[in-house]
Amino acid sequence: MVIMFHPNQAALLSLLFMHGVFAEEQESNHTDEEVSRGGSVIFTCNTSRETTKQINWSKGRFFFSHSMEVNKTASNLTSDRLTIDLSSKLIISKAQEDDEGLYTCLLTETKGKKIYQWNLTVSDKSEEEKSSGYFLYSLTAGIGVVLCCIISATCLCRKCKAKTADQNPVQDQFHQQSAGEIPQQQSGTGRRTNNKRRSEYMERLNSIYDAY
């Protein structure tokens, strides 16, 4: 069963509730949370149904109270973007700037009380804007990596070509020298052959004249 209160009564009850919270506080946990505009956030109190007698949530004039012992709920919750379940979870969907503030969860247990607080900040950028920014960042980083690979490959190719060009003159000179030696050797052999033939021809002529 849910009991609704007039706004003035709710504000007074919230003040009394907060006074009781800090007067009997035994254990406290505080956390700073940030959510993007349009995003979702969940606040969870660590509790056990076996030891918890009552769960109280509050934020400004908003409050929610559920008694486990008598199974009754009192709340002035009006936002359809804020949901509270009995497993001690407060869920904010499609967060907006007016959701910012200090959220408090008070657990009344058999051994005492526990307080959990979250200071929520809603950033200006929406989830879609953040996703778009991340995509552009990833795209820029990818293009940078590709350009680095292309530049490295180009430099490597130039080095290989320069090294090959340095080796070619030596090889060309070797080939030229080798090619030059062969014709010289061939020309020397040809002269010797011609001289020998000429000598044989002259000897034949002399032998003919001597015979006459």
**Collapsed DSSP state (helix, strand, coil) of residue 205:** helix
pLDDT category at 193 given cuts 50, 70, 90 is: confident
What is the rounded average pLDDT of the residues 199-211? 74
Assess contact for 89 and 42: CB atoms under 8 A. Answer: yes
Looking at residue 22, its pLDDT comes to: 42
Residues 104, 65: Cα–Cα separation, whole Å: 12
Looking at residue 128, its pLDDT comes to: 59
pLDDT category at 191 given cuts 50, 70, 90 is: confident
Report pLDDT digits (tens) over 128-168: 555 566 667 677 788 888 887 799 888 888 887 777 766 65
Task: Give CATH superfamily name and number for 2-124.
Answer: Immunoglobulins (2.60.40.10)
What pTM was computed for the model?
0.50
Asked if the model's pLDDT at residue 23 lies above 60, the reply is no
Residues 70, 119: Cα–Cα separation, whole Å: 31
- More confidently predicted of 90 and 185: 90
Could you give the percent of the chain with pLDDT greater than 90?
33
Looking at residue 198, its pLDDT comes to: 78
Query: φ, ψ for residue 119 (rounded to 5)?
Result: -95, 105
Asked if the model's pLDDT at residue 7 lies above 60, the reply is no
Assess contact for 61 and 72: CB atoms under 8 A. Answer: no
- What is the average pLDDT score of the chain? 76
Looking at residue 121, its pLDDT comes to: 96
